[in-house]
Every structure is written in structure tokens, then in C-alpha cells.
């Protein structure tokens, strides 16, 4: 049923539909509405869930890790410096293979109190061992949260999963969202008790989080890495099943838009992708053979997909909402470039930094990116990294 919802409200609806057992809440702009909504659902009796009202994000992550280890399906949401504050228990949760889903509503993290958007917060956790899904709008956010639980609780995966929602441009944007029926969701996502994983109740003296060293430690580290990698196989299957029940799908690890005969590409993730599609349509009308590759899953990084899509193109312009400080480029750019290194027949690559703080990723900026990408593809001396907001 279509309902007008913000992405924050859609995220709370998804948590309810997933029948979460325990949630931890702590406010931070622009995420607070998710925490409030989940609390209100419990207060109204719509959701049977225990809410832990903790005193900070560090305890948010710690307490839901505890609840998940004891067998619960858990949920939380955070943002920006809140995500940074929980970095320590986040690494623990991933290292200990604890399934959980968290929504990160993106926000700038630097010292100048930028409370507006940027994906710097999420990007800074990329090597924590979490899975990261990047939806582009409220509908996809809701759907991705449901898929995230399937991934996270898969016995071959068992990893915490972060679903990233762009602050303000998604979190505070109201639009019609198709909220699925509970009965449909129950068919897609079984109760957590039916998901087999090691628990305290498995034996008289089950002990969680042993201290390991040497080869024992390496063994777990290696198999955690394998589990992350395995997600690249599981995710398309989960999405296919999702499509069968709900009739929606988003194109797997990387969504391709008009790439089949394209000579040039833009690459984006998150909320900037809609505008990028429109600009690409206009450019196509103007005779420019350009398409869009939207990275839907950042961890694990779909390197094989990226190589396949980029091969044979003349130039690719990557639009980032975050900065690799020390590199002067964006994170999507850096990863895509690493993916195509040593591959043959690869395009020229450009990095565009935009949409940081209150600066918008506007139609004009994306048009500018198209122009520069085409110029680079034609051999013109285009600067590699460009901060669009200053142009």
C-alpha cells in the first residue's frame, strides 16, 4: 500500500515489518526520527520489541550486540559522529560474526559542525568488517533493510549489515512508499528463532568471544573475510527471492542504467543517482552515449562487476560525497580505480567531489561532470579530481 513517508519513517516501518526483538535508541540528527518512530510503535503496541534507551552510541552498539548474541533480532540507527563513537564495538560485532542491521543516516563528521549530508561517516567504517548496502530512495531503503536481515542472518554470512541512507536528501524527503503487507514479509523473512546460529543455550557452558592468538586468530579473520566475500553470491539470490514476493528489484550489486551501448559512464551511489539518471537521459537525447553505474553494495565491494561494466568505456566520472583525505579523491573513485588496476582496456577515470555539507549535488553539477568526462574520453587534458561545488 502506498503511503507518503520520509526515508526515516520508511526505515522504522522496515524494522517493524522485520519483527525486531530488541532495539537500542539514542538521538542524533538526522537519524533521531527513526529512534522515535520505533519507540512509538512499541508504545502503541504495534511492535513487540524491547527498547534499550542507552546513554550513547557506544552503548547502542554494545547492547544490541549482547542481545543478538543471546538470540534476538536487533536494530538501531545512527549518524555521523555517533557512528564514529561506536567504532570500537562495531569492529567487535563484525569480528565476532554477530548478525544485526543498522541504518546510518549520513552526515558530515568533520570538526566544523557540518550537520548536513556527506558520506564521510559511512566511508570511514569501510574496513570494519560490516556489510554496506546503499539504497537510493525511501522505497529501496525499506526493501534493503528487509534484505539486509536475510543477508546478515544467513548461516554462511552472519555479519552485521549497515544500510546507508543519505541525510536530509533521503531522511527528510517525503514521498510515496509502498509498505508491504506483514504476511508478505513473513514469507520472505522467517522469525529469528528459525535461523540456526550458536547460542548460549547450545550447551551448559557456551562461551562467547574467546581470546584467540596466533593461528587461531588468523583462522577466524580469514573466514570472516570469506563470509564477506560470499555475500556477492548470496545477495543476488536474496534479491531475486525478494522480487518474486514483492515484485521489486534493483539490479544486484551494481545497478546499470543505459550502459549497454555507452562510451562514457557516470558512477554514483545513494540519493544522487536519481538526478544522475535524468541528466543521462538528457545527454542521450543530445546524442552523448553515456550511462550510469550505481554502486548498491559497497561492502563487499563488487570488483568483478565493476571491471565488467567499465571495460571498453572511454571515460568514467565518479561522483563522491566523501573525501579520501590524503589522496584528494572520493572513496567510490578510489575503490573503482583499485578494481580496474592491471585490467586491460579500461577507461580514463575522473573523481568528482560534491554534495558535502549543505552543498547540493545539482543538475548543473552533474551536467558539468558529464562534459568533463566526455572531454577526458576524447583525450583532452582534464584535471583528475574536481570539487564541483566551487565551479
Partner 1 sequence: MEMEQKIPMMSPGLPMCAGCGMELVVRVLYDELKNDEFISFGGPGCALLTTKVSVPCYGTLFTNMAPSASGVSRELRRQGKDTVCLCIGGDGMFSDIAFGNLSAAAERGEHLLVVCYDNEAYMNTGIQRSSRTPEGAWTNTTPVGPRSIGKKKQQKPFSLLLAEHNVAYVATCSPAHMQDFRKKIRAARDASREGFAFLHVLAPCPTGWKSKPEIMIRQCRDAVNTNYFPLWESRYGAYHITVNVKEPKPVTEFTKTQKRFSHLSEEQIRQLQEDVDLNFEHLKKLCG
Partner 2 sequence: MKELRMHGKGGQGIVVGGETLSNAFLNAGKFLAVMPSYGVERRGSDVTAFGRLSDEPVRENCMCYEPDYLVIFDPSQLKKPATYKGFVPGGVIVACGTDPEEVLSMGVKPSKLVMVDGIRIAYEVTGNNLTNMIMCGAFCRAVPELPMEALLKAIEENLPKNFQKTSILGAQRGHDEAVVYTYEIHGEHSKKAPAWTRHVLACREPEKPRYEAPWGNGAEKIVTVDTGTWKVVRPVLTEESCIRCGICATYCPIQCIRKGEDGYFRADLDYCKGCGVCAYECPKKALTMVQESEFRKA
What is the spatial distance between Cα 152 and Cα 146, in angstroms, rounded to a whole number? Answer: 10
Binds partner 2 by CB under 8 A, chosen from 96, 262, 275, 319? 96
Helix (H, G, I), strand (E, B), or coil: what is residue 76?
strand
Q: Which is nearer to partner 2, 61 or 158 (CB)?
A: 158
Q: Nearest CA to 8 among 103, 72, 93, 89?
A: 103
Q: Is there binding between residue 327 and partner 2 (CB under 8 A)? A: no
Distances, alpha carbon 302 to alpha carbons 231, 252, 253, in Å: 10, 10, 6
Count residues binding partner 2 (CB under 8 A). Answer: 24
Shortest Å distance, C-beta 65 to partner 2: 11
Q: If residue 95 lies in a helix (H) or strand (E), which one and from where to where?
A: helix 87-95
Q: Which is nearer to partner 1, 77 or 142 (CB)?
A: 77
Binding segment for partner 2 (CB under 8 A), chosen from 2-10, 178-186, 211-219, 339-347, is: 211-219
Residue 79 phi, psi (nearest 5): -165, 150
Q: If residue 102 lies in a helix (H) or strand (E), which one and from where to where?
A: strand 101-105
248 exposure class (CB count in 10 Å sphere: 0-12, 13-18, 19+): middle
Contacted by 170, from partner 2, partner 1, none: CB < 5 to 8 Å by type = none
Contacted by 310, from partner 2, partner 1, none: CB < 5 to 8 Å by type = none
Binds partner 2 by CB under 8 A, chosen from 201, 207, 345, 383? 207
Q: Which is nearer to partner 1, 60 or 266 (CB)?
A: 60
54 exposure class (CB count in 10 Å sphere: 0-12, 13-18, 19+): middle
Looking at the DSSP bridge assignments, the partners of residue 226 are none
Instruction: Please give the residue ranges that form the binding site for partner 1 (CB under 8 A).
Output: 21-22, 24, 50, 52-56, 58-59, 61-72, 74, 88-89, 92, 200, 204-211
Q: Is there binding between residue 229 and partner 2 (CB under 8 A)? A: no
Q: Is there binding between residue 208 and partner 2 (CB under 8 A)? A: yes
What is the number of other CB atoms lying within 10 angstroms of the CB of residue 237?
11
For helices 138-153 and 7-17, angle between their N-to-C axes, nearest 10 degrees: 30
Shortest Å distance, C-beta 306 to partner 2: 25
What is the spatial distance between Cα 379 and Cα 315, in angstroms, rounded to a whole number? Answer: 10
Contacted by 63, from partner 2, partner 1, none: CB < 5 to 8 Å by type = partner 1
Can you read off the three cell numbers belonging to residue 204? 551448559
Shortest Å distance, C-beta 88 to partner 1: 6
Q: Which is nearer to partner 2, 47 or 67 (CB)?
A: 67
Q: Is there binding between residue 212 and partner 2 (CB under 8 A)? A: yes
Q: Which is nearer to partner 1, 200 or 217 (CB)?
A: 200
Binds partner 2 by CB under 8 A, chosen from 55, 113, 127, 204? 204
Dihedral angle over CA of 45, 23, 4, 173, nearest 10: 150
Q: Is there binding between residue 68 and partner 2 (CB under 8 A)? A: no
Beta-strand relationship, 22-25 and 254-257: unpaired
Binding segment for partner 2 (CB under 8 A), chosen from 49-57, 94-102, 185-193, 343-351, is: 94-102
Helix (H, G, I), strand (E, B), or coil: what is residue 220?
helix
| Per-residue mark of binding to partner 2, 155-174 (x: CB under 8 A) | x--x----------------
Residues that bind partner 2 (CB under 8 A): 96-98, 155, 158, 197-198, 202-210, 212, 215, 218-220, 222-223, 227
Amino acid at each position: 500500500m502506498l503511503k507518503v513517508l520520509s526515508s526515516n519513517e520508511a526505515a522504522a516501518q522496515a524494522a517493524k515489518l522485520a519483527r525486531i526483538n530488541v532495539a537500542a535508541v539514542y538521538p542524533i540528527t538526522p537519524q533521531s526520527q527513526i529512534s522515535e518512530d520505533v519507540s512509538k510503535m512499541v508504545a502503541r503496541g504495534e511492535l513487540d520489541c524491547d527498547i534499550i534507551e542507552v546513554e550513547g552510541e557506544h552503548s547502542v552498539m554494545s547492547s544490541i550486540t549482547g542481545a543478538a548474541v543471546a538470540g534476538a533480532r536487533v536494530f538501531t540507527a545512527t549518524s555521523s559522529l555517533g557512528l564514529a563513537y561506536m567504532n570500537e564495538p562495531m569492529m567487535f560485532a563484525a569480528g565476532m560474526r554477530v548478525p544485526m542491521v543498522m541504518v546510518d543516516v549520513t552526515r558530515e563528521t568533520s570538526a566544523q559542525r557540518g550537520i548536513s549530508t556527506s558520506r564521510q561517516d559511512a566511508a570511514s567504517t569501510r574496513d570494519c568488517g560490516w556489510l554496506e548496502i546503499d539504497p537510493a530512495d525511501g522505497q529501496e531503503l525499506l526493501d534493503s533493510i528487509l534484505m539486509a536481515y536475510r543477508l546478515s542472518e544467513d548461516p554462511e554470512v552472519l555479519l552485521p549489515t549497515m544500510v546507508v541512507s543519505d541525510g536530509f536528501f533521503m531522511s527528510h524527503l517525503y514521498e510515496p512508499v509502498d509498505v508491504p503487507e506483514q504476511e508478505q514479509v513473513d514469507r520472505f523473512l522467517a522469525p529469528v528463532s528459525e535461523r540456526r546460529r550458536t547460542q548460549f543455550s547450545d550447551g551448559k557452558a557456551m562461551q562467547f568471544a574467546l581470546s584467540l592468538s596466533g593461528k587461531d586468530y588468523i583462522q577466524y579473520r580469514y573466514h570472516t573475510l570469506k563470509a564477506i566475500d560470499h555475500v556477492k553470491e548470496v545477495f543476488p539470490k536474496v534479491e531475486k527471492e525478494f522480487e518474486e514476493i514483492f515484485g521489486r528489484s534493483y539490479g544486484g550489486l551494481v545497478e546499470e542504467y543505459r550502459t549497454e551501448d555507452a562510451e562514457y559512464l557516470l558512477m554514483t551511489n545513494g540519493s544522487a543517482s536519481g538526478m544522475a539518471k535524468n541528466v543521462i537521459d538528457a545527454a542521450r537525447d543530445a546524442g552523448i552515449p553515456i550511462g550510469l553505474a550505481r554502486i548498491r553494495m559497497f561492502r563487499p565491494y563488487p570488483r568483478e562487476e565493476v571491471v565488467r561494466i567499465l571495460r571498453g568505456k572511454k571515460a568514467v566520472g565518479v561522483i563522491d560525497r566523501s573525501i579520501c583525505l590524503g589522496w584528494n579523491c572520493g572513496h567510490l573513485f578510489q575503490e573503482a580505480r583499485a578494481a580496474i588496476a592491471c585490467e586491460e582496456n579500461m577507461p580514463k577515470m575522473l573523481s568528482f567531489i560534491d554534495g558535502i555539507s549543505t552543498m547540493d549535488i545539482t543538475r548543473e553539477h552533474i551536467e558539468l561532470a558529464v562534459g568533463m568526462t566526455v572531454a577526458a574520453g576524447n583525450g583532452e587534458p582534464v584535471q583528475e579530481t574536481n570539487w564541483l561545488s566551487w565551479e
